[in-house]
Amino acid sequence: MASGFVNIRRDVDDKFYRYRMPILLTKIEGKGNGIKTVLPNMSDVARALSRPPSYTTKFFGCELGAQTSVDEKNERYIVNGAHDANRLRELLDGFIDKFVLCKSCKNPETELIILKVGRTEDIIRDCKACGERTPIDMRHKLTTFILKNPPIKARKGKKATNGDAAAGVGGGGGDVTPENGNGEEGGDPGAESDDELTKKIKAEAAELNQDAAIEKEDWAVDTSPEAVKARQKALESSMAAAVLGGDDDGDDDDENSPYTQFGNWIMDVPETEDQKALNIAIYKKAEELGIEKKHKAVLILVTIFTEDVVAEIPKFAPLLKKMVTSEKHQKALLGGIERLVGLAYPDLLPQVPKILMALYQDDILDEEVVTEWGTHVSKKYTDKDTSKRVRKASAPFLKWLEEADDDDSDEDDD
């Protein structure tokens, strides 16, 4: 059926590249409203990528905003509407980049694993080539589908066994001690200190390490569909709780709530060079939805950030200043940061001090609010363990704040 093979990385122009896949074929069927694009060799392509064909097909649906139909038994994979083969091949490149290639070495020999952190889950690419584990951007809509349909069956016919997966579990999760975090902003995270705050954070850190070890063991043991499903449910409710917060001021949990709309709109916002226009557009959207003054809008706003958050904060600072107008807003912002670094990008944990520093230096966060936040674990925005993890990572910054306050001297430029 396949009329030819291409490199899995089509940007690699190497005839001897090891990783090849059949070129994706398409066939238009039907007419009028019933017109659809059939993907006759989707299962062959997906097999070459070691991913279930439902993932690639659903990915097309997410990207094109089209309905899809997946019939694994009869190997029928369909995207509604008429779609150009080249367009779909380009989208497939996007899928490969986001859900297959190791982010570190760009090798396609990866396995998707679902890693439980606290009550929530992240999807990680586990690279067989370099051993790195790199997180999937959890804001992509396909991640919801993957969590609901975990990649267990995909292991069939692959070298990986449950034993392999379990053996690899120890390395993930992004455990970070303040000592190996980024302490360069000042203070000396390695130094012994008797102050109460440090003691408290160290005690929590020790406890956290224990909890994390236990959780990883759980995950290694239980990858049954039932267990995965149960964790998915937990994730959904914890995310819903995160968005709604404790002091809810209305019925926001439906799909049409202004917060959901704001979040979806931000997720689809195109990249632009014109940062000022982008800031204005975001504010106007919030205004249009009537939530520009709400602290929960700040929580949603944080989803605009990516793994480059440290560099992005100054760009969005004018917008943040406009929307973060009270202590409550600052707490929502910190809650959003907890979710960003605790759940979406666990690799960012070592950068928490830099993130807080950037927000502090741009006068978006007040010293009192950050200190109060940093010393009180809360379940309001994430699960307790994630909350602890993030606060633990913030220790060097909190220490710097306190010391800067004590001697009233500049320690941020040493």
Task: Indicate whether 130 belongs to the interface with Zn ion (CB under 5 A).
Answer: yes
Contacts with Zn ion in 104-123 (CB under 5 A)?
Answer: 104-105, 107
- Report how many helices (DSSP H) and strands (DSSP E) the chain contains, helices first: 16, 9
Task: Indicate whether 134 belongs to the interface with Zn ion (CB under 5 A).
Answer: no
Residue among 289, 309, 305 nearest 297 (CA): 289
Beta carbon nearer to Zn ion, 83 or 133: 133
Beta carbon nearer to Zn ion, 105 or 152: 105
Beta carbon nearer to Zn ion, 127 or 320: 127
Which ranges in 53-111 belong to alpha helices (H)? 53-64, 85-99
Least separation in angstroms between CB 105 and Zn ion: 3
Contacts with Zn ion in 76-105 (CB under 5 A)?
Answer: 102, 104-105
Beta carbon nearer to Zn ion, 305 or 345: 345
Q: What is the DSSP string of 355-412?
A: HHHHHHHTTSS-HHHHHHHHTS--SSSS-HHHHHHHHHHTHHHHHHHHHHHHH----T
Least separation in angstroms between CB 102 and Zn ion: 3
Which residues does 221 contact at the CB level (< 8 Å), separation at least 6? 166
Residue among 174, 168, 176 nearest 223 (CA): 168
Beta carbon nearer to Zn ion, 14 or 406: 14
Task: Indicate whether 19 belongs to the interface with Zn ion (CB under 5 A).
Answer: no
Beta carbon nearer to Zn ion, 63 or 109: 109
Structure tokens at 394: 């913030």
Choice from 12, 129, 230, 267 touching Zn ion (CB under 5 A): 129
Task: Indicate whether 127 belongs to the interface with Zn ion (CB under 5 A).
Answer: yes
Residue among 365, 363, 362 nearest 373 (CA): 365
- Total of residues contacting Zn ion (CB under 5 A): 8
Least separation in angstroms between CB 346 and Zn ion: 17
Cα diameter, the chain:
76
Beta carbon nearer to Zn ion, 132 or 215: 132
Return the SS3 of 78. strand
Structure tokens at 94: 């996007």
Choice from 132, 362, 366, 403 touching Zn ion (CB under 5 A): 132
CB 77 within 8 A of CB 52: no
Task: Indicate whether 48 belongs to the interface with Zn ion (CB under 5 A).
Answer: no
Residues engaged in binding Zn ion (CB under 5 A): 102, 104-105, 107, 127, 129-130, 132
